[in-house]
Amino acid sequence: MQEKVLLSFDGKFMLYTPYGSKEDWKDARIYLFNDGTLVINYYQREIKFKIKNLEPVDEKIPSSITGLVTMFETYKLRLREKTSYLLIHGDKKYIKRLTRYICYFNLMNTICYILYPYMIGGAIQKNVKWRKSTLLIKLKRTPGKVLEIIAFKYNGSLVTIPLERVIDFKKDKINIQNREVEVLSVKFLNEKSVSFVILIYTFDLNLLYKIFESYFDEYDIKREEIQEEEFEDVKLSDIEEQVLYALYSGINSLEVHSLLGIDVNEIEKIYDKLIDMGLLKLVRLRKEVELTGKGKYLVEKIMKEKGTKL
């Protein structure tokens, strides 16, 4: 069967070995084939790499090596005696997609563990267990674009996550069987725009993270970066924490006062304070509010510190 080209573009490449002889950028035509082969054509020559032997990394390459070229992707060459890297420069759209496709080839059919659904609409789900699953990749060609889908198969069930529906992702540390492990938390919307969160544990977590990172980079999707330092001076009363918990669990902000048994005027004062702190945002003038990304992060932080669930 004839191989199919998944991706092709004009760019530059460089093979770099630390402490080795200095190489220069070379103009090239780069092809990625569906059999997992990367082909680089340059100056009537050709180099081939098996995708399984390439690992996308964030290694810092000295500017004395890369020169004026700043936008490039770095791949560590496996199975070589000396540490070596393949650097590829080109249009951002193509090099980010190349990185993602390389991750796909390396992760396809790997075993991972998922906790799903960990959250629905901001509320943590109880009695959900970790499941052993197989990671699958689906590429569906539609007019004008390729729909990329991450899927997890277990016990005849399938959890599908179209990348275009992912709204946030982050690495987190949790305890599994009295052992702290790093997981990937991915938040996405279903067809009805209800948010779901899945936790994923796999030995190739960095490659999985790279998939979402490269997709957000390619399409310039902004993430709300939140720094721990922002919460150093945050002090909340018990009732203010309860208000945040209620909103986080999906309670309508107009019903929180009756749920907690407090006066309407008092709840509005609390909302004003939390808005000023950047934890809430006003969505309607009649004091209908919702949590900001910072507010959601703080609730999750408090729950983790206190070991509580909603």
Q: Which domains does the chain have, with CATH numbers?
A: 5-106 (2.30.29.30), 108-218 (2.30.29.30), 229-306 (1.10.10.10)
Residue 12 has pLDDT above 70, yes or no: yes
Residue 95 CA to chain centroid, in angstroms? 18
Quick one: average pLDDT of 86-100?
A: 97
Indicate whether 56 pLDDT > 80.
yes
Q: Which residues contact 49 (CB under 8 A, 6 or more apart)?
A: 37, 38, 40, 77, 86
The confidence score (pLDDT) of residue 19 equals 80
Cα separation, 52 vs 252, in Å, equals 49
Q: Is 284 helix (H, G, I), strand (E, B) or coil?
A: strand
Residues 149-180 pLDDT 10s: 999 999 989 999 999 999 889 999 888 778 88
CA–CA gap between residue 16 and residue 80 (Å, rounded)? 12
Q: Which three-class secondary structure state does DSSP give residue 111?
A: strand
> Above 90 in pLDDT, residue 90?
yes
> Across the chain, what does the average pLDDT equal?
88
